[in-house]
Structure 1
Amino acid sequence: MPKTRLDTDRIRAARRVIDPVFLDTPLYRCEALGSRLGCTVSVKVETANPVRSFKARGTELVASLLAGRGARAAVCASAGNLGQALAWSGRARGLDVTVVASRRAPAVKLDRIHALGARLELVDGDFEEARERAAALARQEGIRLVEDSLDIETCEGAATIGLELVQGAPSFDAVLIALGGGALATGVGHVVKALAPGVEVICVQPLGAPAMTHSWRRRRVVTTDSARTIADGVAGRRPLAAVLEDLLLVADDALLVRESSIVAGMRMLFDQAGLVVEPSAALGIAAVLENRDRFAGRHVVTILCGSNVDADDYRRWIGPAPTRAP
């Protein structure tokens, strides 16, 4: 592997630090999805844990490191899932956790952050404003700022998913990874390219929040003025240069998908797999829907990265359940 911030030996060691409740999530071939999409589809269900997303794999490493150094507090900006994960991991290790989030973040995510014992501060604006406020709090209070994707532990925690994919899925051709800040894509991509280099690593992002995809395509950081997508978990506008450098080493392609395809993917996962997911988790299915010829006959794995979704929003997006014969 070319020089990167990630280390495969550290990623293997991470499994000894992460609470087993977040490890070895279900990975299986979903025949119903495959028959509808014209390819073999395996799903990695990262929603089957107490915080219903992959994020705790990384926060377990961060919180363990901080507790080992005697730290008492940490702060992060979050679209919702990282905040829940850090609250969970911090509570288990005696850390006081502050989470800064946008007022527009889904209420289900904000409520859960509060329920897990974190101090929650809301800001007007989007995730980028939350990130600025979190950095200011870290300076003012002299506490650790946890930065998703920039902190290597968040990437290497997510990378343990890659170990489970390589060890658990019998020969797959491509892995479809939701692309936001980049922790999931760089982490999983690093392991896949190190241990199964023939597998295609494909990142997927909403057309309305394309900053990291544009950055990958142009090989330089590209920011956007806005991010407009229902996939709030990947709606960043300002990619981080260090993360982009890692992504350029492992991603074979980066695709942008329409909002209608994301909704169709969510509905398909519900109808064909019985799984309720948030929009970010449906990006892989959306990519197959928009690129059927590219994936026809291939074996693709998609990582279902989160299921923290507002019930009313979900019902509005996917519509009423289909009528089934008795």
Structure 2
Amino acid sequence: MPRTRLDTARIRAAQQVIDPVFLDTPLYSCEALAAELGCGVRIKLETANPVRSFKGRGTEWVTSRLAGAVVCASAGNLGQALAWSGRRRGLRVTVVASHLASTYKLDRIRALGATLELVDGDFEAARERAVNISRRDGIRLLEDSLDIETCEGAATIGLELADRADEFDTVLLALGGGALATGVGHVLKELAPGVEVICVQPLGAPALTRSWHERRVVTTDSTDTIADGVAGRFPIPDVLDDLLLVADDAVLVREVSIIAGMRMLLDHAGLVAEPSAALGIAAILENRERFAGRRVATVVCGSNVAMDAYRRWTSEGRVEQRP
């Protein structure tokens, strides 16, 4: 049987190294959401930690094996996590981001002590600049989802889910670069194969979902979504290969559904979720019949969002290009 790049033994080793502040996050049934959505809803909450996203699991594993300096490109969450883990271990961290990125996320990267460099263009332009810095300075380049440690760190969420897999039959995962989906998917297929793994991506940033359906890398010229954390245009071939082995389905959702999902998480679960974290709820909203009566778990993967934009989205429903 074909194998992914991931290894469960290494994932368990990562779990022993990652700061416990990122581990054993709550998994609980939300009855209020279940009543609204017509299916059982279990929330895996990955926001109650110092960087307010799941990314710290991966950066903890990466930085535990590094010395000196590291550079990454980030839409915001990875940069914060790398800055936090790097500061903890005395590493020099450089983060490259688009000047269009969330001001809130950029401010947090600076506050955590990383050197921040802004570039014109989108995330792909930031990635190219990070590659150049790595080559120029001879330092480690961390590439989310391509570097297996980021997937292994995210996969520790899968270990925690697998321990309670009798509580749900479906898991909904945000799909961006693919570390979360491939990591959690790998563990569930090995330890809880009866659980359906469904990946969710915005209609305005569909590259990896299209690639999964066509079984080949599909790129896009641009993205148009408020879910900046999953707005990539160039899927990584190795990540697609893994995703084809572990995902049962990949679906696209509209911006209006993402905003509705954010509102529902606030109104019925008391959670502030960034757009990427509401993708699972958006998927249920767009296909209630598919999920009716099922027991669904969704990973609320981040809460780093500018509050002025968040208030507009959740109160007025106004969609803007960027937070």
Q: Residue 27 of structure 1 contacts residue 169 of structure 1 at CA under 8 Å; is this kept in 2?
A: no
Give 2:321's aligned residue: none
- C-alpha separation between the residues in 1 aligned to 2:196 and 2:316? 36
- C-alpha separation between the residues in 2 aligned to 1:121 and 1:134? 9
Q: Deviations over 1:267-296 (max 9, x none)?
A: 000000000010000000000000100000
Following superposition, the deviation at residue 13 of structure 1 comes to 1.4
1:162 to 146, 153, 158: 158
Following superposition, the deviation at residue 169 of structure 1 comes to 4.7
Q: Residue 138 of structure 1 contacts residue 145 of structure 1 at CA under 8 Å; is this kept in 2?
A: yes
2:192 to 185, 191, 196: 196
User: Do residues 42 (structure 1) and 13 (structure 2) align?
Assistant: no
Q: Residue 274 of structure 2 contacts residue 305 of structure 2 at CA under 8 Å; is this kept in 1?
A: yes
- C-alpha separation between the residues in 1 aligned to 2:21 and 2:120? 34
Give 1:6's aligned residue: 6
User: Do residues 223 (structure 1) and 219 (structure 2) align?
Assistant: yes
Amino acid paired to 2:178: G
Give 1:293's aligned residue: 289
- C-alpha separation between the residues in 2 aligned to 1:81 and 1:121? 15
Amino acid paired to 1:42: R
Give 1:275's aligned residue: 271
Instruction: Give the TM-score normalised by the residue count of structure 2.
Output: 0.97
More deviation, 166-175/81-90: 166-175
Give 2:54's aligned residue: 54
- C-alpha separation between the residues in 2 aligned to 1:175 and 1:33? 15
Following superposition, the deviation at residue 320 of structure 1 comes to 6.6
- C-alpha separation between the residues in 2 aligned to 1:199 and 1:2? 19
Give 1:149's aligned residue: 145
Give 1:324's aligned residue: none
Q: How many residues align?
A: 317
Q: Residue 165 of structure 2 contacts residue 192 of structure 2 at CA under 8 Å; is this kept in 1?
A: no
Aligned-residue identity in percent: 77
Give 2:320's aligned residue: none
Give 1:244's aligned residue: 240
Following superposition, the deviation at residue 166 of structure 1 comes to 1.2
User: Do residues 172 (structure 1) and 168 (structure 2) align?
Assistant: yes
Following superposition, the deviation at residue 206 of structure 1 comes to 0.1
Following superposition, the deviation at residue 171 of structure 1 comes to 3.1
Following superposition, the deviation at residue 2 of structure 1 comes to 2.5
- C-alpha separation between the residues in 1 aligned to 2:280 and 2:25? 18
Q: Deviations over 1:238-280 (max 9, x none)?
A: 0000110000000000000000000000000000000001000
- C-alpha separation between the residues in 2 aligned to 1:21 and 1:117? 19
| Structure 2 unaligned regions, length at least 5 | 318-323
- C-alpha separation between the residues in 1 aligned to 2:223 and 2:42? 30
- C-alpha separation between the residues in 2 aligned to 1:119 and 1:240? 26
- Structure 1 segments of 4+ aligned residues over 6 angstroms from their partners: none
Aligned residue for 2:217, secondary structure, equals coil
Amino acid paired to 1:276: V
| Structure 1 unaligned regions, length at least 5 | 322-326
Q: Residue 59 of structure 2 contacts residue 85 of structure 2 at CA under 8 Å; is this kept in 1?
A: yes
Following superposition, the deviation at residue 314 of structure 1 comes to 0.2
- C-alpha separation between the residues in 1 aligned to 2:163 and 2:194? 15
User: Do residues 22 (structure 1) and 22 (structure 2) align?
Assistant: yes
Aligned residue for 1:15, secondary structure, equals helix
